[in-house]
Amino acid sequence: MTEAIGKETGQDTEEGPAEDKDSNMRIDSLEEEIRLLKNQIRSMDYSQSLERDAYKRELSALYDELNIIRREKKNLQKQLDDIMQPPLLVGDVVEDLGNGEVIIRNGTGQSFITTISDSVDRVDISAGVRVGLDKNNLCIIRALSKGKDPIIMGSEVLERPVTSYSEIGGLEGVIGELKESVELPLTHPELFKNIGIKPPSGVMLVGAPGTGKTLIAKAVANSAKCTFIRMVGSELVQKFIGEGGRLVRELFQLAREKRPCIIFIDEIDAIGAKRLGMDTTGDREVQRTLMQLLAEMDGFQPLENIAVMAATNRIDIIDEALIRPGRFDRIVEVPMPDTEARLAILKIHIRDMKLSRSVNLKAIARETESFSGADLRNLCTEAGMFAIRNRHRSVNKEDMRMAMEKLRARMNGSQDSGPAGMFG
C-alpha cells in the first residue's frame, strides 16, 4: 500500500464505518477493565489468594476477548484497504537504476523513471518483472510476476539448443557465412569493435520448405553457446489491436535479459509480406506489428550480444522495408541439396538406423533430385517403417525403394503446393 492510500484509509477509519467505531469502543472499555483488574490484583495480599485466582481467570478471559476483537479489527481494516485501493496501472521493469529508482515501460510502450514504494520488497523488483503502479504518482506498489520469466506467448526459449552443425548435411557454405555474420559477433564482439566495423543487424535465411532453415538457426545458437528464442511469425499476428506490437516489444525485452542470445523469427512472411492493397482492420494490425519490429530493429545496436535472425521461403513477397540497411541487411540463401549434399543428409539420418549392405546411398542420393532435407529424412523414416512391416532385421534396398515410391507418389500428388505439400 502506498502512503497516499494509507492516508485515505486512515481518514476513513477516524470517521469510520459503524463496525469499526464499535470495535474501537469495545477495545477501549476492555483495556480499561483490564487495567482496573490488574490494579486490584496487585493490591490484594496473600490471604486473599482464592479471590486473586478468580480475578486472574477473569483477567485472562478479558485478554482473550481483547485479542479476538483486535484480530477482527485488523481483518476489517484489511478489507477496507482492499476496497479503497484504486486500480493499478501495469508496467514492466526495464532496468533497476539502484537507489530505489527504476525504468518502467507501460503497455503503450512509453518509458519513464519511477520509484519503489517502501511496502514493496526490493528483491522482487528486477528487469522483466511486471509491476502494479499507483495511478497518480506512478510509484511501484506491487510486484506482479515475482521471480518468473516473462515467457512470451507462443515463443520457444531454449537455453542452449541441442542441435549441432554435425546434424546438418551439405550446407557448409551457409554455415560458414553464419559463423562469420552471427556467431562471431556474439562470441567475439571485440574483434568487430577493434576493426571498427558493424556486423549485419539481422540475417534472413531464405530457402524452400524443408531445406533446414530452422535447423541451422538452432545450430548457430548451439555453437555460439547462447540462448535461442524462436517466435513463429504467425504467432505475432494477434486478434487484438496493439497486441502483436506488444509481443514484439516483449520479445526484444526478453532477449535483452537472456543475452547472449539469438532471436529467430521463423516464417516471417506472416508479418513481413507486402500489403497488397487490402485495407482491412486485420491487415492494419499486421502492419502495426511489422512497424514495431522495424522500430525495435532500428533502436538496436548490433554487438549488444543479441543476434536477430529470420527465415522465409517467400523472399519475393517480403516488404522491402524489412531488408533495408540496419534491419535484415544480410540475406543468406539456403539452397536445395545437390547430389553430394543429399548423400551427406542421408548419412546423417541413417546414423542410428540398421542398414543392410544392399543399400547404396550414393545411388539414392542421385535418384532423389527434387528432395529437400526434410524429404530425405522422411524417406529414411518411411524405409524404416517398411522394414518393420516386412519383418526385416535391417533396412534393405527393397524397403528403400518402396519408401521412395511412396514419397514420390505423395510429392506428385501435391505438386501444386511444391515439395512441401507432402508434409502439410
Ligand X SMILES: Nc1ncnc2c1ncn2[C@@H]1O[C@H](COP(=O)(O)OP(=O)(O)OP(=O)(O)O)[C@@H](O)[C@H]1O
The site for ligand X (CB under 6 A) is made up of 168-171, 207, 209-215, 311, 313, 345, 348, 373-374, 377, 420
User: Does 211 interact with Mg ion (rule: CB under 5 A)?
Assistant: no
Residue 84's Cβ-count burial label (10 Å; 0-12, 13-18, 19+) is: middle
- Cα separation of 304 and 161, whole Å? 21
How many whole angstroms separate alpha carbon 404 and alpha carbon 193? 51
Helix (H, G, I), strand (E, B) or coil at 318: strand
Residue closer to ligand X, measured from CB, 93 or 407:
407
C-alpha cell at 177: 557465412
The partner in contact with residue 261, picked from Mg ion, ligand X, none with C-beta cut-offs of 5 to 8 angstroms by kind, is none
Looking at beta carbons only, is 300 or 328 nearer to ligand X?
Answer: 328
Of 213 and 330, nearer to ligand X (C-beta) is 213
Residue for grid cell 526484444: 252
* Sequence-ordered alpha helix ranges (H) in 120-205: 172-178, 184-187, 189-195
From Mg ion, ligand X, none, interface partner of 169 (C-beta below 5 to 8 A by class): ligand X
Output the residue with the shortest Cβ distance to ligand X: 373
Please state, in angstroms and rounded to a whole number, the distance separating the CA atoms of residues 98 and 111: 17
Q: Which residue is nearest to Mg ion (CB)?
A: 214
C-alpha separations of 353 from 291, 349, 358, 387, 423 in Å: 47, 8, 14, 11, 22
Q: How many residues bind Mg ion (CB under 5 A)?
A: 1
Residue 163 is a binding residue for Mg ion (CB under 5 A):
no
Partner that binds at residue 210, options ligand X, Mg ion, none, CB closer than 5 to 8 Å by kind: ligand X
Which of Mg ion, ligand X, none sits in contact with 377, Cβ below 5 to 8 A by type? Answer: ligand X
Q: Which of 9, 181, 214, 253 binds Mg ion (CB under 5 A)?
A: 214
Least distance (Å) between residue 343 CB and ligand X? 11
Please state the closest distance from residue 348 (CB atom) to ligand X, in A: 5
Please answer whether residues 132 and 113 qualify as being in contact, where contact means their C-beta atoms are separated by less than 8 angstroms.
no
Smallest distance from the beta carbon of 211 to ligand X, in angstroms?
Answer: 4
Looking at beta carbons only, is 23 or 214 nearer to Mg ion?
A: 214
- Residue 266 CB, shortest distance to Mg ion, in Å, is 5
CB of 76 to ligand X, least distance (A): 60
Nearer to ligand X, 230 or 327 (CB): 230
The span from the CA of 131 to the CA of 86, in Å, is 15
Cβ 310 to ligand X shortest distance, Å: 11
HSE-CB of 162 using CA atoms within 13 angstroms: 0
372 near Mg ion, rule: CB under 5 A: no
238 is an interface residue for Mg ion by CB under 5 A = no
DSSP for 65-125, written as a single string: HHHHHHHHHHHHHHHHHHHHPPPPEEEEEEEEEETTEEEEEETTS-EEEEEB-TTS-GGG-
The set of long-range contacts for 320-325, using a CB threshold of 8 Å and a minimum separation of 24, is: 320/274, 321/290, 321/294, 322/204, 322/268, 322/272, 322/290, 322/293, 322/294, 323/204, 325/201
Task: Look at residue 211 and give the partner it binds from ligand X, Mg ion, none, a contact being a CB closer than 5 to 8 Å depending on partner kind.
Answer: ligand X
Q: Between residues 186 and 219, which has the closer beta carbon with respect to ligand X? A: 219
| Element holding 275 (H helix, E strand) | none
For the CB of residue 338, give the shortest distance to ligand X in the complex, in Å.
11
Whole-number minimum distance, CB 303 to Mg ion, in Å? 27
Neighbours of 279 (CB within 10 A): 9
Q: How many C-beta atoms surround the C-beta of residue 147 within 10 A?
A: 9
The minimum distance between CB 4 and ligand X, in angstroms, equals 53
Pick the stretch among 112-120, 196-204, 206-214, 362-370 that binds Mg ion (CB under 5 A).
206-214
Nearer to ligand X, 215 or 310 (CB): 215
CA atoms of 361 and 363, how far apart (whole Å): 5
The residues binding Mg ion (CB under 5 A) are: 214
